Amino acid sequence: MLIIPLLVMILTAVAPAEAIIGIWYNTDKSGKIEIYKKDGSYFGKIVWLQDPLDENGEVAKDKNNPDKSMHTTPLIGLIVMHDFSKDSDGEFKGGNIYDPENGKTYKCKLKLRGDELDVRGYIGIPTFGRTETWTRVE
């Protein structure tokens, strides 16, 4: 009889971490980011853009990256989130998020709230940051 409650506790603890996996709209729904798990950490890559072409009609590339060798890398497929892990509070921390619009990388933490994901990018400590809310793609 002890096995069933133990199994329920294990499944409940695992489900929230895996629930973050999927495709998410960014705040203004101009892009979709796929969050996936690799080697025990969570990552995110751009899988869709509302405007996939640049001002010249070419595939949008990572032209704002401070690493000039990345300027020819297409935005679609670009890994913009890496190295997140779930902590005991149910948040995903320890990762970074890259903003291709300004070429900057920020520390980041994620908090899952059903079909919404609070994405807080910051420099230094979370107090000095900004939170955006992403929504799950149906």
| Dihedral sign computed on CA atoms, order 43, 48, 51, 53 | positive
Q: How many domains does the chain have?
A: 1
What number of other Cβ atoms are within 10 A of residue 92's Cβ?
A: 24
Question: Which of the four pLDDT bands, split at 50, 70 and 90, describes residue 138?
Answer: confident
Q: Which pLDDT does position 94 carry in this prediction?
A: 95
Question: Which of the four pLDDT bands, split at 50, 70 and 90, describes residue 90?
Answer: confident
pTM score, two decimals? 0.85
Query: What is the residue-averaged pLDDT of the chain?
Result: 90
Percentage of residues of the chain with pLDDT beyond 90: 80
Spatial neighbors of 109 by CB under 8 A, at least 6 apart, are 91, 92, 93, 95, 120, 122, 126
Q: What residue numbers bound the domain in which 100 lies? A: 3-136
Read off the pLDDT of residues 7-27 as tens digits, 9 standing for 90 and up.
344 444 444 568 999 999 999
CA distances to 8, 12, 18, 37, 137 from 4, in Å? 6, 12, 21, 28, 33
Does the pLDDT of residue 80 top 50, yes or no?
Answer: yes
List the CATH number of the domain containing 25: 2.40.128.520
Read off the pLDDT of residues 108-132 as tens digits, 9 standing for 90 and up.
999 999 999 999 999 988 888 999 9
